[in-house]
Copies of this chain bind each other. A is one copy, B any other.
Amino acid sequence: MKLGKGVEWAAHTCALLALLPPKATLPGDSLADFLGIPSPYLAKQLQAMSRAGIVAAKRGASGGYRLQKPAESISLWDITASIEGTAHSFRCTEVRRSGPCGAVKSECKRPCPIAATFYDAERRYRETLDAMKLTDIVSAVAIEANQNRKDRIKEWVQTNAALPA
């Protein structure tokens, strides 16, 4: 059971976008530069989040990305789901139906108890991520950071962000 590293990138990207003044945007290349990750690949995650309605993309000069919703209504699950999808982690191939003693359809009205337990576990996993909002992440990160770093981030944002005309 493994998540792609795009999830980590996407989450940190959103945490950065949450610091932008309203309506301001940051280009994909700048975001990748800030995080020290390959830009063309991050672009994929950004597109996915754009399609999911998490970020708004603006083309053209002084374009880029910004959050499309208030940070308190974006959860870590929203971000994860936009990158990884919402498919079940447990793939039930209905083994119980095959083999010499396979069950017939009438015995399989309810989901297999093994699959049902995994789905329940996944639901709890999802709920935990969904309870963590982008605002919570930003607060937690701010607590850890020292003043010097906060200043440098602020300066970097002012240098790289574009405000609409």
Q: Which residues of A contact B (CB under 8 A)?
A: 1-3, 5, 7-9, 11-12, 15, 33-37, 76, 84, 87, 89-93, 95-96, 98-104, 106-110, 112-115, 117-118, 120-122, 124-129, 132, 136-137, 140-141, 144-146, 149, 152-153, 156
Main secondary structure of the interface of A (DSSP, over half): helix
CB contacts (< 8 Å) of A126 on chain B: these are 121
Q: Are A3 and B91 in contact (CB under 8 A)?
A: yes
Asked if A145 and B103 make an inter-chain contact with CB atoms under 8 angstroms apart, the answer reads: yes
Task: Count the copies.
Answer: 2
B136 contacts A125, CB within 8 Å? no
B128 lies within 8 A of A121 (CB): yes
Q: Is B124 a contact of A141 with CB atoms below 8 Å?
A: no
A146 touching B12 in the complex, CB below 8 Å, given contacts A117-B132, A125-B124: no
Q: A1 vs B1: C-alpha distance in the bound complex, in angstroms? A: 5
Contact B110 A5 (CB under 8 A): no
A-B residue pairs, 3 tightest by C-beta: A36-B98, A113-B140, A121-B128
Distance, CA A33 to CA B107, complexed state (A):
21
A8 touches B91 (CB 8 A): yes
Inter-chain contacts of A15 with B (CB < 8 A):
114
Q: How far is the CA of A144 from the CA of B36 in the complex (A)?
A: 54
A69 CB, min distance to chain B CBs, angstroms: 18
Inter-chain CA distance A94–B90, complex, in Å, is 28
Evaluate contact between A89 and B1: CB separation under 8 angstroms: yes
